[in-house]
Amino acid sequence: MAAQTELSAPALVSRNDVPVFPPMALSAEAAPFTPLGPETWQLGSSSDADKQFSRCATKLRALRGDSGHLREELNLLFDQLLSENYNKSFDPSINIRTEDVCSLLKHASALVPLSQEHLVIKFCQLMHHLLNQLKVIMDEHTLDVLVKYTTSALKTCSTWTHSDVLLALSTVVYGNGPQCHQHLSNLLREDGVLLMYSSPSQPNMELRRVALSCMANICLRIPGQPPLDDQYRSVSFSVFLKTLQSAKPPDTDELFYCMVIQAALKGLQCCLSGGKWKFGGGEELGSVLALLKRLMFQGAPGVSVEWPTVLYPAALPQYESLPVPKPADPQKPAEGPKDAAVAGKTSGNKKRKSRGKGKKTNVEESRGNDEEEDNKDDKVPAVQKGGGREGGRGDPESLCKFSALSLYPSWKKNSSDSEFSDPEGSAQCKLRLYHGRVRQGALHGLLAVAKSLEKRTLYGFWSSFIPDSPIGGPPPLTLLTIILKDLSPKVRACALQVLSAMLDGSRQFLAVAEDTASPRTSYTPFSFSLATSVRELHRTLSLALLAETSPQTLTQVIKCLAYLVANAPYHRLRPGLLSPLWKQMRPYVRHRDANVRVSVLTLYGALVTTQAPLPEVQLLLRQPEGSGGGSSNAGSFTPQSSALSWRQRDGVSSPSHTPATLSQRGSCSHSPRAPRTPGEEDSAPPWLLQLCVSLVTQPREDQSDNEGAGTGVTLEPSPVRLEALQVMSHLVRGYFSLVQTCLCDVGQVSARCLKESDPSIQLHGTKLLEELGTGIIQQYRAENNIPESSRVPISQVVLFWTEVLSGPLNGALQNEQHPTLQTSACETLSSILPQAFAQLPDKTQLMCITVLLGLTYSENYLVKTAAVRALGVYVLFPCLREDVMFVADTANTILAALDDRSPNVRAKAAWSLGNLSDTLIVNMASVGVDFQEELSDMLLLKMLQAATRASDDKDRVKSNAVRALGNLLHFLRESQLTRSAFQRPLEDAVRALVKTVQSEATMKVRWNACCALGNAFRNPALPLDSAPWSHDAFSALCHVVTSCKNFKVRIKSAAALSVPTHRSCYGDTERFTCVWSSLAKALENSEDTNDFLEYRYSASLRHTLSQALLHLLSISQVQDMPVLGASMAGDEGRGIREHLIKYVREEEEGGKGRGDGEEAQGEKDTGGESVTPQQRISGLQQTLIRLKGLKAEGEEDRGKEEVVQFLEELLKNCEEP
């Protein structure tokens, strides 16, 4: 009877609710029994909970405070409401409105007097029950009413009720801390109830736990909501910290103490995750990290050390370590495997033991606890519970022996199940479980700390959590100890998450690591210690990979390795770290779990991305499939061989991993298993490429993944295929020379992806095509110096693009339902090699241009941006740039895009306009006046006006708009400049450039504006001597060349000032004097900078300034002599002479070797070509002869003599050996 009552407790079931089964005669021909689905066979109909709630709510609303039987009726209604299970996972059809729950709770709070303490407890339980199970988001009024009620109950009711009241309050304030600010001053003040009950001096551990949980829920921040006020977060943080620092009270049960620590750790995590957090001064951060490190090992067997109270940022390891183990009995290892096997078998039986579901405990956890645990399980996938796990783990030093003993964790060998009676064993298991939760909470807290700290602060504590290789003695206790030794897969996964967070973004920190040089004996440099730490991480994670049996934790191990590979500087480390990892990962691509396979591909993607091309990875990619990585290789041994063998038949690789697309066609005609000559091996496709192609295109042999069972799907799951396509893209980007032999085959894989219905697969297919096109373009760039024999032949490139453009790419370009796919397809079109585009059929070229022009009118800004950019690429193609009609169509399209609302579209339109203006300048030199005359004057005027408007836009639009302005001003003919329609736009354009040069815009915009003025000065038709805007242009450049903090801007302005080829362009003597003085002053101050990063450009700046000064001397006239003579006669002249001597003697490489390569074009910016010292001396001699021939009188003659004497001394010094 008791059991029957317990079963019917959740809902009362009437006889009418039980489904009636039709009578069935017993016979051999009867149909087999088929159980009804859960939607058909349930205890009660799906709306029972709704009906019960509605019925009780109606009765409750009808009650009044003056009712004679109020207490009895409330008791009955509360019992009925509490008896229902409102969890939607139990019954998805439950549909109780939030406003109905809020209305019921508000009305009930007015009916339950605080004097009736039993009713208060039931009402508080009802609050927790409804809000927790229905996940109610309360309105502000309901929140205010319930918080007021519970806080009043804490003040009025007896202490024995406070546990349930605090539980209800904890549920009410869950994630609502900022909305309860008017009540927090009472709850969190010094004599407030929460601080009183959460104090370490509180003897009642249950009250202390619930109070801490309540404070944690107050600090919890829901995404999208403002954080809790810093004042209350600080108070709560102090309480959590004191709780964790306080020792366990005497005579306190260890389980209760673990629950208190869990609540404090959860609160600490909520404080740190609830917005930006600044640790207090002194040693607060070190104290928190020391606490978390100690709790990371809470209850870990064999750990008995004196923990430091504070961790200090230092490169040296801390002083805690494992005790030195005693020498083992030599006979015990022989018995180890047997014991290990028995223990493993026992633990496996325990795992399979089912636990009852649906039971309700007397004391429920707060909603915060329940949901936090759910969140943790989401972040760290749930695994089998219990103390043991299959396969086990072992000591780091002995794991590599691949013995059954070494793979079993040493912490499990301390006792056998027979040492405890059943109740004692159950208590021990529960204690281990709670200790594991504490360790898990500590790691979550450490993860929150790692995410809230600046990277440079976090890396000060690197050695406390990530050791270098142990030289001798016991290893330190770090995250790696937990990853290798902890019994709980959840705890190991949390430790891996923390390690991943520390490694993520650590590239700049780890860039210091280096161990290629011979080690020093006197001291160990930090770079070597860091390199050793990287090697220790590789060693530990490789051991964890071998020992791990939980698929979820195994996924975390591989992801952590991917973070390590992505950030470690392998070009500064001794080779040999990546080869074992590469081979060790190969069996895992056949793992049963799809998440593991995805993470393996992510790791391979990191391997082929990091510092590509890396010599060690190149060697690994060239290795054939059968060498050094097969399933029979010892280096690839894993304890999960049964889980890895689903793609193998009798020890032979599945045919699905010998892709026909790469082994039976063209240059990839070799079978991966057939012996090859060395020459053939070099041209064979990389094993990784073959693997990825097979994962994308070949069917699976065994649908062992849960998501594929019974669905008829024969290909790999979508995440695996997407990651394989990503790896292929990384391979093409970093190691194109190894992939180019299979160019057409990889293109066919992309074409197959484009034919599929999944937009994600289509998108990655187009991105792969784009990477192929970009790789081909990179090969044909002159600066890469790739010999023609090593490039993909033009004929093959043409064939490749012909097949691609006649295939399903057209469908992707016209797929308006998926704008992202259209965008990627446009980017693919822009990656066609210009030489190959010229050889495509005319109709194919026309199709590309027509599609792009049409897509610029798309309503989606992403598509429009990509189409406008692609046109900006096409306008530079030699086969299209001389086509006036195409140039005009492109210009009109770009002008329309410059007026778009989206700043992204305008930015790409400005970039394309800059490219189009570059084309005009090229055509002006190659085609001549014919092209200028064919292009419409009105179109040029529109382009000039549009670029002027764009120069007042955002910086990313402005930087290319001013580039276009400079080219357009250079392109205009004299007949156009004299027309009245061009007069005002011309002046506006120059003033826009002047304004940009003088503005506070980004430096890239300003140096582009300086270059634009230099380009404009190249146009001989511009009236630089008489135009009113000419003075402003020269003044702006003179000001910038002497005062700008950025040396690159100074370089561009000096180059612009040296562009005019005639003395008349510089105007009167006053303007010429201003230009000369500015350049001389800039040369004198060319080394004055407070920014060390600018100092590297000082040599290039002096080069450009010296060239500009000599240019002014070469065109100077007699009226300039007094000013020039005065400048050269004093101290300024001696400084100029020293710099000019260095410039004239400077070899060509010296002038081009400075800066970042961009300043190597200094001479090009001035309109000249690279010259030798002999040519410079010849130019000086010609200048000297010309000046001597000038006729001067009086002051001009004296100035002329000073200049001539200066040049003679300069020539004498330069000609001396």
**Is the torsion defined by CA of 885, 891, 894, 895 positive or negative?**
negative
List, for residues 845-890, the tens digit of each pLDDT value. 999 999 999 999 999 999 999 999 999 999 999 999 999 999 999 9
| Averaged pLDDT for residues 137-144 | 90
**Rounded to 5 degrees, what are φ and ψ at 797?**
-65, -40
Would you state the pLDDT for residue 863? 95
For 101, 370, 1035, 1036, the CA distances from 1039, given in Å and listed in that order, are 71, 67, 6, 5
Angle at 373 between CA 367 and CA 375, to 5 degrees: 100
Would you state the pLDDT for residue 335? 38
Do residues 977 and 1021 lie in contact, with contact meaning Cβ atoms separated by under 8 Å? yes
Would you state the pLDDT for residue 775? 94
List, for residues 1082-1133, the tens digit of each pLDDT value. 998 887 777 767 777 888 899 999 999 999 999 999 898 988 888 888 777 8
Do residues 295 and 439 lie in contact, with contact meaning Cβ atoms separated by under 8 Å? yes
Q: Lowest mean pLDDT: which of 236-250, 362-376, 998-1012?
A: 362-376
Would you state the pLDDT for residue 678? 40
Look at residue 246 and tell me whether its pLDDT is greater than 50: yes
Give dist(CA 475, CA 478) in Å, integer.
9
Q: Lowest mean pLDDT: which of 439-453, 932-946, 1189-1203?
A: 1189-1203
Give bridge partners of residue 649 from the DSSP assignment.
652
List, for residues 1027-1054, the tens digit of each pLDDT value. 888 999 999 999 999 988 888 999 999 9
Residues 372/373/376/380 CA torsion (nearest 10 deg): -170
Would you state the pLDDT for residue 1089? 73
Do residues 563 and 496 lie in contact, with contact meaning Cβ atoms separated by under 8 Å? no
Look at residue 347 and tell me whether its pLDDT is greater than 80: no
Q: What is the pTM of this model?
A: 0.78
Give dist(CA 243, CA 657) in Å, integer.
56
For residue 359, name the pLDDT band (cuts at 50, 70, 90).
Answer: very low
Q: Lowest mean pLDDT: which of 24-33, 412-421, 1175-1184?
A: 412-421
Would you state the pLDDT for residue 626? 55
What are the DSSP calls for 205-256, one per residue? Answer: HHHHHHHHHHHHHHH---TTSPPPPHHHHHHHHHHHHHHHHSPPPTT--HHH
* Residue count of the chain: 1217
Mean pLDDT of all residues belonging to the chain: 79
Give bridge partners of residue 893 from the DSSP assignment.
none
* Structure tokens given for 461: 């504590």
Look at residue 949 and tell me whether its pLDDT is greater than 80: yes
Return the SS3 of 67: coil
**Is the torsion defined by CA of 510, 511, 516, 521 positive or negative?**
negative
Return the SS3 of 276: coil
Give bridge partners of residue 648 from the DSSP assignment.
653
* Structure tokens given for 26: 């017993």
List, for residues 963-1016, the tens digit of each pLDDT value. 999 999 999 998 888 899 999 999 999 999 999 999 888 888 998 999 999 999
Residues 1198/1203/1206/1212 CA torsion (nearest 10 deg): -110
- Identify the residue whose tokens are 């990389």: 686
Would you state the pLDDT for residue 517? 76
Do residues 178 and 227 lie in contact, with contact meaning Cβ atoms separated by under 8 Å? yes
- Residues contacting residue 762 through CB under 8 Å, at least 6 positions apart: 753, 754, 756, 812, 815, 818, 821
Neighbours of 884 (CB within 10 A): 16
Q: Give me the amino acid identity at 616.
A: E
| Averaged pLDDT for residues 315-342 | 40
Q: Lowest mean pLDDT: which of 20-24, 431-435, 614-618?
A: 20-24
Look at residue 1166 and tell me whether its pLDDT is greater than 60: no
**Rounded to 5 degrees, what are φ and ψ at 202?**
-70, 120
Look at residue 649 and tell me whether its pLDDT is greater than 60: no
Give dist(CA 718, CA 716) in Å, integer.
6
Do residues 436 and 383 lie in contact, with contact meaning Cβ atoms separated by under 8 Å? no
* Structure tokens given for 117: 């303490």
Do residues 1086 and 1101 lie in contact, with contact meaning Cβ atoms separated by under 8 Å? yes
Q: Which residues of 680-695 are buried (b: 16+ CB within 10 A; e: fewer)?
A: eeebbbbbbbbbbbbb
Number of helical (H) and strand (E) elements in the chain, helices listed first: 61, 2
Give dist(CA 455, CA 459) in Å, integer.
6
Give dist(CA 106, CA 139) in Å, integer.
11
Look at residue 921 and tell me whether its pLDDT is greater than 90: yes
Look at residue 760 and tell me whether its pLDDT is greater than 70: yes
Task: Supply the DSSP symbol for 515.
Answer: -
Would you state the pLDDT for residue 792? 92
Omega within 30 of 0 (cis) for the link into 327 = no
Would you state the pLDDT for residue 422? 53
List, for residues 271-303, the tens digit of each pLDDT value. 888 666 777 666 788 889 999 999 999 888 878
| Averaged pLDDT for residues 741-768 | 92
Q: Give me the amino acid identity at 1188.
A: K
